[in-house]
């Protein structure tokens, strides 16, 4: 394809992705974390404070609160962040408030697409970039987290930009690139705390690789003195990068000042956020994987999650592209070609042993790398194949497109064919059931004339606020009769209670439903029973 066609593909891919994202807004009620992010962002915009929950930085939170704030909604002054989030969403028209909040994440989706295009074009070519962005913009897990008012898409967009800018800076640390590195670093840090580990790990791996390959006289990047050694020009450029990054981070926090051991100090909220994040990982989290409930993390969670949450076209061509890109990098000794692969390693290495297994969204940057590699592999296969081979490549690509199109608007609950017909037996929580189907439940109950229901709901929303006629909330070991709604997360994982910093799991809490067929499946996340 010529350059004009490649650019047209970029624009169409972004436009189609945005249309599909916005098309989900009216279908789903608030998901588990949306309220807390809106509440924290609103506190910062309205009151200039950021005290509710500092473990998540304010960039994405301010973005999702901006639309409601501009529409006239303000803080509701509820002491608890969960209650504050619900109060803000339902202060006026909850559907409109959620719509406005979710619009705040769209710029990060567009940013991710543009940065992925620029990065792929830089490493391989514009044809590869066009395919990569197309695959990325059709990937259900990407669309899912671009359509909710949370932080994961903000991390993906800013981290992709930072990796591209950092690669350019390592090549040539000009003053402009040094300043942009500071800006990109600040935006990524204030998008999500995990970016520190992801980006820091990537840089460490890249510097080691540059040193390793730099020992060869004909390495295109030249020799460097040792691992983690930069040139004098790089060190001098940090005089620009460091203050720019600091000022940008402080600006996102609205120049807040705190005290550290009684001494006035900037960014104390950021420091507290790092502590809270480490504390959360130490606590673990009630989780589920392939029939087992647990709270201390499993090494297979993210590998299995990536395998079943990726469209098979993306997975197959992405893994093939990993091989192609690694071979090209090794043959040319060009560290730039290895950066995407090292970034994926830097994301997975700390995530796999982590104790928090509540969603593949926590390694969302891996899907960006898969898209980049898949674009390279598809173009390489097309150029090398004869007509029959090209037909197979085109057929595989079309099959992948159909796989992602048929799931609309349930991108959050997408699983590929490897998960089988009952994906809830593999993963739940934010990979399937994040509390999103209360609007569908309301419509289903009205259509069936049901005026009373017991609920075992997994989510932060209050079902009554969505017009659900709740008779009672489910209590463990209490008999249930009549109409009963249970979330897939609870049905599969069972009940879980955190007491004294320790999780207690009750995986058999819903065994009384064994052998009973639900009257209806509401969306992908709720089961409706009529119990005698």
Q: For the chain, which residues make up each domain, given as ranges? A: 3-21+106-405, 31-103, 437-531
Using CA atoms, how far residue 12 sits from 108, 139, 351, in Å, is 17, 15, 34
Helix, strand, coil tally for the chain in percent (to 5): 60, 10, 30
The sign of the torsion formed by the CA atoms of 144, 146, 147, 152 equals positive
pLDDT digits (tens, 9 = 90+) for 221-239: 444 455 566 888 899 999 9
**What is the structure's pLDDT at 513?**
95
**What is the structure's pLDDT at 491?**
96
- Inter-residue contact 41 to 61 (CB < 8 Å): yes
CA 356 to chain CA centroid, Å, is 14
- Mean predicted lDDT score pLDDT of the chain: 91
Average pLDDT over residues 180-191: 96
- Inter-residue contact 494 to 510 (CB < 8 Å): yes
CA distance 449 to 466: 16
Beta strand 520-522 with 470-473 is unpaired
Residues 6 or more apart in contact with residue 320 via CB below 8 angstroms: 373, 374, 377, 381
Angle between helices 194-214 and 152-171 (to 10 degrees): 30
Burial class (CB in 10 A: 0-12, 13-18, 19+), 216: exposed
Average pLDDT over residues 446-450: 96
**What is the structure's pLDDT at 219?**
47
Q: 292: how many CB neighbours lie within 10 A of its CB?
A: 11
pLDDT digits (tens, 9 = 90+) for 15-56: 999 999 999 999 999 999 999 999 999 999 999 999 888 889
pLDDT-derived band at 281 (thresholds 50, 70, 90) equals: confident
Q: What percent of the chain lies above the pLDDT cut of 90?
A: 78
Average pLDDT over residues 180-194: 95
pLDDT digits (tens, 9 = 90+) for 293-352: 999 889 999 999 999 999 999 999 999 999 999 999 999 999 999 999 999 999 999 999
**What is the structure's pLDDT at 93?**
94
Residue 152 has pLDDT above 80, yes or no: yes
In three-state secondary structure terms, 479 is: coil
pTM over 0.75: yes
Using CA atoms, how far residue 309 sits from 51, 68, 377, 432, in Å, is 35, 32, 20, 10
- Inter-residue contact 37 to 150 (CB < 8 Å): yes
pLDDT digits (tens, 9 = 90+) for 377-390: 999 988 886 666 67
**What is the structure's pLDDT at 220?**
47
- Inter-residue contact 297 to 284 (CB < 8 Å): yes
Beta strand 470-473 with 453-456 is parallel
**What is the structure's pLDDT at 433?**
96
CA distance 104 to 99: 9
pLDDT digits (tens, 9 = 90+) for 347-370: 999 999 998 999 999 999 999 999
Beta strand 292-294 with 495-499 is unpaired
Using CA atoms, how far residue 312 sits from 133, 318, 410, 417, 419, in Å, is 16, 9, 17, 8, 11
- Inter-residue contact 472 to 484 (CB < 8 Å): no
**What is the structure's pLDDT at 226?**
55
Average pLDDT over residues 499-517: 91
Residue 277 has pLDDT above 80, yes or no: no
**What is the structure's pLDDT at 1?**
56
Residue 141 has pLDDT above 50, yes or no: yes
Angle between helices 94-103 and 81-89 (to 10 degrees): 110
Residue 473 has pLDDT above 60, yes or no: yes
In three-state secondary structure terms, 482 is: strand
Strand partners, 473: 455
The sign of the torsion formed by the CA atoms of 368, 163, 245, 248 equals negative
More confident residue, 405 or 448: 448
Residue 218 has pLDDT above 80, yes or no: no
CA distance 37 to 145: 14
Cα radius of gyration (the chain): 24
């Amino acid at each position: 394809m010529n350059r004009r066609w490649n650019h047209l593909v970029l624009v169409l891919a972004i436009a189609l992705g945005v249309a599909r994202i916005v098309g989900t807004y009216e279908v789903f009620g608030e998901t588990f974390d949306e309220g807390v992010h809106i509440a924290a962002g609103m506190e910062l915009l309205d009151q200039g404070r950021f005290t509710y929950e500092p473990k998540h930085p304010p960039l994405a939170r301010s973005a999702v609160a901006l639309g409601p704030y501009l529409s006239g909604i303000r803080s509701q002054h509820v002491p608890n962040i969960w209650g504050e989030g619900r109060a803000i969403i339902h202060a006026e028209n909850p559907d409109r408030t959620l719509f406005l909040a979710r619009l705040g994440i769209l710029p990060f989706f567009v940013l991710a697409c543009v940065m992925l295009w620029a990065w792929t074009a830089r490493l391989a070519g514009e044809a590869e970039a066009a395919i990569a962005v197309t695959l990325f913009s059709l990937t259900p897990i990407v669309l899912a987290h671009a359509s909710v008012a949370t932080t994961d898409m903000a991390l993906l967009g800013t981290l992709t930009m930072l990796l591209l800018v950092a690669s350019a800076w390592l090549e040539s640390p000009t003053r402009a690139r040094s300043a942009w590195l500071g800006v990109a670093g600040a935006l990524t840090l204030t998008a999500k705390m995990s970016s520190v580990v992801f980006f820091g790990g990537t840089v460490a791996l890249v510097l080691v690789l540059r040193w390793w390959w730099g020992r060869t006289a004909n390495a295109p990047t030249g020799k460097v003195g040792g691992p983690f050694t930069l040139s004098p020009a790089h060190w001098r450029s940090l005089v620009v990068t460091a203050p720019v990054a600091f000022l940008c981070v402080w600006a996102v926090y609205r120049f807040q000042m705190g005290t550290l051991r009684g001494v006035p100090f900037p960014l104390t909220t950021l420091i507290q956020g790092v502590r809270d994040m480490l504390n959360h990982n130490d606590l673990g989290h009630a989780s589920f994987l392939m029939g087992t409930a647990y709270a201390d993390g499993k090494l297979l969670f993210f590998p299995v999650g990536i395998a079943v949450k990726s469209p098979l076209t993306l997975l197959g061509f992405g893994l093939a592209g990993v091989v192609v890109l690694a071979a090209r990098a090794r043959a040319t000794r060009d560290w730039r070609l290895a950066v995407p692969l090292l970034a994926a390693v830097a994301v997975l290495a700390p995530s796999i042993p982590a104790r928090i297994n509540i969603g593949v969204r926590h390694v969302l940057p891996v899907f960006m790398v898969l898209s980049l590699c898949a674009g390279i592999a598809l173009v390489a296969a097309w150029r090398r194949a004869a007509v029959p081979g090209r037909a197979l490549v085109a057929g595989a690509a079309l099959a992948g497109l159909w796989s992602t199109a048929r799931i609309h608007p349930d991108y959050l609950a997408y699983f590929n064919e490897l998960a089988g017909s009952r994906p809830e037996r593999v993963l739940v929580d934010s990979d399937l059931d994040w509390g999103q189907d209360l609007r569908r439940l309301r419509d289903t109950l009205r259509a069936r004339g049901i005026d009373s229901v017991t609920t075992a709901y997994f989510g932060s929303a209050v079902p009554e606020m969505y017009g659900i006629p709740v008779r009672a909330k489910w209590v463990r070991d209490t008999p249930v009769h009549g109409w009963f709604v249970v979330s897939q997360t609870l049905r599969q994982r069972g009940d879980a209670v955190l007491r004294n910093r320790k999780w207690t799991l009750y995986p058999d809490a819903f065994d009384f439903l064994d052998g009973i067929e639900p009257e209806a499946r509401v969306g992908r996340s709720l089961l409706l029973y009529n119990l005698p």
